[in-house]
Structure 1
């Protein structure tokens, strides 16, 4: 069986991740997870506009979340359902970076493992996958995945200069 996308990117450190994080990133084919998330959105009008354009989920506490992953030889598609709100992205490996296509933007993330957590750090962003945007604009876009009490936990936050916080969502997932 071939290596998964995250195994390719991380190499040996992948196998030192907690079991629930490895399990989520070890699938071939389809997998489904369910859990709960708390979502906060920024108050700055520019940030709210950016979040709306990016189709980020609305604010809420204990929002039910379902994540459906489809892994194939070319990458992974993540379909997230935050209550009734849907958000989809496509992940691929290129140039030793994780590329995530989310709406009009293509993010490039460097992944690293620290203290048992998997961190995604923005390494670049392109509009329409072609036009490079200043990486410094996206320095406050990051993700952390970890295990707490045997359960997979995630935290995603995004803030931009002048716009402030766009979103922060955090929660947990279990196989569904």
Structure 2
């Protein structure tokens, strides 16, 4: 089965570096290390409420991508903390990530040497506001050896940074 990001990007996916194609091709388990940076007190509570880690630090990390119907279940383990979300196809090649009632629409875009998952909208339930109103963030992935270096962030209007996590992953 072809991965969700590959389907969203179409032929541009084939131009990504091999480790990124492997990560997003058909799922699987990847392991590495992550550094978590949190925001102010209110933002940390928001992170915890949606299931993200609310404590800063560097810990072992794993990402498991499992195909599920037309989408994928992403299970991230930040040390002992487990965070799951469902990613499904959105309109016009976008990807829609569901985290409880929160919805984040991202556009996978190739960049020199990597992949940018740019947030183009977010909201609650079926209501998706444009990125300029909903918040900022997204993910950047580049290659490091046979693995992947990633940097993911989320900011909420009026709260600033909710979370940033960055690190490296390699196939398990």
Normalization by structure 1: what TM-score?
A: 0.88
Matches within 5 A, 1:85-100: 85-95=81-91, 96-100=93-97
CA distance in 1: counterparts of 2:171 and 2:60, whole angstroms: 14
Tell me, yes or no, if structure 1 residue 50 matches structure 2 residue 46.
yes
CA distance in 2: counterparts of 1:66 and 1:143, whole angstroms: 16
* Among candidates 135, 156, 172, match of residue 131 of structure 2: 135
* Among candidates 101, 105, 117, match of residue 102 of structure 2: 105
Shift of 1:134: 5.2
The 8 Å contact of residues 46 and 162 in structure 1, kept in 2 or not, is answered as: no
Shift of 1:61: 3.2
Segments of 5+ residues of structure 2 without an aligned counterpart are none
> Closer, same or farther in 2 for the Cα pair 1:60/1:139, shift >3 Å?
closer
Partner secondary structure for residue 14 of structure 1: helix
Q: Deviations over 1:85-117 (max 9, x none)?
A: 110011111212101101221111111111121
Tell me, yes or no, if structure 1 residue 117 matches structure 2 residue 108.
no
Segments of 5+ residues of structure 1 without an aligned counterpart are none
RMSD over aligned Cα atoms: 1.7
* Alignment partner, residue 36 of structure 2: 39
Q: What is the number of residues matched between the two proteins?
A: 171
The 8 Å contact of residues 35 and 166 in structure 2, kept in 1 or not, is answered as: yes
Shift of 1:73: 4.1
Shift of 1:167: 0.8
The 8 Å contact of residues 117 and 144 in structure 1, kept in 2 or not, is answered as: yes
CA distance in 2: counterparts of 1:7 and 1:160, whole angstroms: 28
Partner secondary structure for residue 10 of structure 1: helix
Partner secondary structure for residue 58 of structure 1: coil
* Alignment partner, residue 163 of structure 1: 159
